[in-house]
Chains A and B, each alone.
Chain A
Amino acid sequence: MNDLRLITRNISDNPLRSWITGLCTALVAGLIIFSYLLVNGSQESLMRVTQRLGADIAVIPAGNQIIVEEALLMGNPISVWMPRAVVNEVASIQGVEVVSPQLFLSTMRGASCCTVSDMFMVAYDPATDFTIRPWLKDNLDTNLKLGQAIGGTYITTTAGREDILVYGYEIDLVGSLESTGSGLDQSLFFTYDTAVDIARLSPMKAEAALVLSPDSISTALVRLTDGADPYKVADEIESRVRGVSAIPAASLFRNQREHVESLRRNLGLFSVIAWVMSMVLIGFVSAAAVLGRRQELGVLRALGATQTRLIGLLFSESALLTLAGGMFGIALSAVGLILFKTLITQSFNLPLYIPSLPEFLLLAGWILLVVLASVFLALLLPILKVSSEEAATILKE
Chain B
Amino acid sequence: MIKLTNVSKEYALKREAPVMAVKDVRLEITQGEFVVVTGRSGSGKTTLLNLMAGLAKPTAGSVSVNGINLWEKSDTERARLRNQQLGFVFQFPSLLQSLTVLENIVLPLGFFGGAANRADLDKARQMLETVGLSDKVNAVPRQLSAGQQQRVVIARALINSPAILLADEPTSNLDEQTEVEIISLLMDIYRQNGITMVLVTHDGSLVNRGTRSIVMSGGQIVSDINQVDFASVQASAALMRSDDPKFSISDKPPPY
Residues of A within 8 A of B (CB): 1-3, 5-6, 9-10, 12-13, 295-296, 298-299, 301-309, 390-393, 395-396
Please give me the 8 A-B residue pairs with the lowest Cβ-Cβ distance, nearest first.
A304-B83, A392-B56, A392-B50, A9-B98, A304-B111, A391-B55, A13-B98, A392-B55
Q: Are B90 and A390 in contact (CB under 8 A)?
A: no
How far is A21 from B114 in the complex, measured between Cα atoms in Å?
Answer: 29
Interface positions of B (Cβ within 8 A of A): 11, 46-47, 50-51, 53, 55-57, 75-76, 79-80, 82-84, 88, 90, 92, 94, 96-99, 103, 106-112, 114-116, 156
B81 to chain A, nearest CB (A): 8
Given the complex, which residues of B lie within 8 Å of A3, measured CB to CB? 110
Given the complex, which residues of A lie within 8 Å of B92, measured CB to CB?
295
Which residues of B are found within 8 Å of A309, using beta-carbon distances?
79, 111
A-B contact pairs, 27 of them (CB 8 A): A1-B106, A1-B115, A2-B114, A9-B99, A13-B97, A13-B98, A298-B55, A302-B88, A302-B90, A303-B83, A303-B107, A303-B108, A304-B79, A304-B82, A304-B83, A304-B84, A304-B111, A306-B76, A306-B79, A306-B111, A307-B75, A307-B79, A309-B79, A390-B56, A393-B56, A395-B50, A396-B46
The reply to whether B94 and A299 form a contact with Cβ atoms under 8 Å apart is: yes
Are A12 and B56 in contact (CB-based, < 8 A)?
A: no
Contacts A306-B75, A392-B47: A299 and B96 contacting too (C-beta < 8 A)? Answer: yes
Distance in Å from the Cβ of B193 to the closest Cβ of chain A?
20
Chain B residues near A9 (CB, 8 Å)?
96, 98-99
Q: Which listed residue (B55, B98, B103, B106) contacts A395, Cβ 8 A?
A: B55
| Whole-angstrom CA separation of A328 from B76 in the bound complex | 37
- State the CA gap A301–B90 with chains docked (Å): 13
A98 CA / B112 CA spacing, docked (Å): 76
The docked-state distance in angstroms from the alpha carbon of A223 to that of B115 is 70
> Of all chain A residues, which has the CB nearest B114?
A2
Which residues from B are CB-within-8-Å of A306? 75-76, 79, 111
Contacts of A13 in B (CB 8 A): 97-98
Are B82 and A302 closer than 8 Å at their CB atoms?
A: yes
A35 to B77, CA, bound (A): 49
Residues of B within 8 A of A393 (CB): 11, 56
A338–B47 CA distance with the chains assembled, in angstroms: 63
Say yes or no: A390 contacts B55, CB within 8 Å: yes
Q: With the chains together, A335 CA to B10 CA distance in Å?
A: 60
Contacts of B51 in A (CB 8 A): 392
Nearest CB in chain A: distance from B82 CB, A: 5
Closest chain-A Cβ to B141's Cβ sits at a distance in Å of 11
Q: With A2-B110, A392-B55 in contact, is A304–B96 under 8 Å at CB?
A: no
- Bound Cα distance from A364 to B113, whole angstroms: 37
B133 CB to nearest A CB, Å? 18
Min CB distance B9 to A, Å, is 9
User: Which residues of A sit under 8 angstroms from B112, Cβ to Cβ?
Assistant: 304
Output the least CB separation between A302 and chain B (Å). 5
Verify A308–B75 contact, CB threshold 8 A: yes
Q: A306-B76, A390-B57, A391-B55 are in contact. Are A12 and B98 (CB under 8 A)?
A: yes
Taking a contact as CB atoms under 8 Å apart, the answer to whether A1 and B109 are in contact is yes
Residues of A within 8 A of B80 (CB): 304
Nearest B residue to A303, CB-CB: B108
A395 to B97, CA, bound (A): 16
With the chains together, A123 CA to B90 CA distance in Å? 86
Give the complex CA separation of A295 and B114 in angstroms: 24
Contacts of A298 in B (CB 8 A): 55
Interchain CA distance A22-B3 in the complex, whole Å: 49
User: Which of chain A's residues have a CB closer than 8 A to the CB of B103?
Assistant: 1, 5
CB of A264, distance to nearest CB on chain B (Å): 45
Chain B, residue nearest A310 (CB): B79
A386, chain B: closest CB distance, angstroms = 15
Q: Which residue of A lies closest to B11 (CB)?
A: A393
Least CB separation from B83: chain A residue? A304
Residue pair A299, B90 in contact (C-beta under 8 Å):
yes
User: How distant is A155 from chain B, measured CB to nearest CB, in Å?
Assistant: 57
- Beta-carbon contact of A303 and B98 below 8 Å: no
**Which B residues are in CB contact (< 8 Å) with A5?**
103
Counting chain B CB atoms within 10 Å of each CB, which of A12, A301, A304, A392 scores highest? A304
Within the complex, the shortest CB–CB distance from A87 to chain B, in Å, comes to 78
Q: Cα distance A12–B11 when bound, in Å?
A: 36
Rounded to whole Å, the gap between the CB of A132 and the closest CB of chain B is 64
17 additional A-B pairs beyond A1-B103, A303-B83, A308-B75, beta carbons within 8 Å, are A3-B110, A5-B103, A12-B98, A298-B55, A302-B55, A302-B88, A303-B82, A303-B88, A303-B111, A304-B112, A305-B111, A306-B75, A306-B79, A307-B79, A308-B76, A391-B50, A392-B56
B46 proximity list for chain A (CB < 8 A): 392, 396
Name the CB-closest residue of A to B79: A306
**Complex-state Cα separation, A309 to B79, whole angstroms:** 10
- Using Cβ atoms and an 8 Å threshold, which residues of chain A touch B106? 1
Most buried by B among A2, A5, A299, A393: A299
With A1-B110, A309-B111, A392-B47 as contacts: A301 and B96 at CB distance below 8 Å: no
Question: What is the bound-complex CA distance between A175 and B67, given in angstroms?
Answer: 82
* Chain B: minimal CB distance from A383 (Å): 16
For the complex, what is the distance from the CA of A305 to the CA of B83, rounded to whole Å? 8
Q: Name the A residues within 8 Å of B114 (CB-CB).
A: 2
Contact A2 B115 (CB under 8 A): yes
Chain A residue, CB-CB nearest to B96: A296
Residues of B within 8 A of A2 (CB): 110, 114-115
Q: In the bound complex, how far is the Cα of B50 from the Cα of A306, in angstroms?
A: 16
Could you say which of B46, B47, B96, B108 has the most chain A C-beta atoms within 10 Å of its C-beta? B96
Q: Which of A2, A305, A306, A308 has the most CB of B within 10 A?
A: A306
Contacts of B111 in A (CB 8 A): 303-306, 309
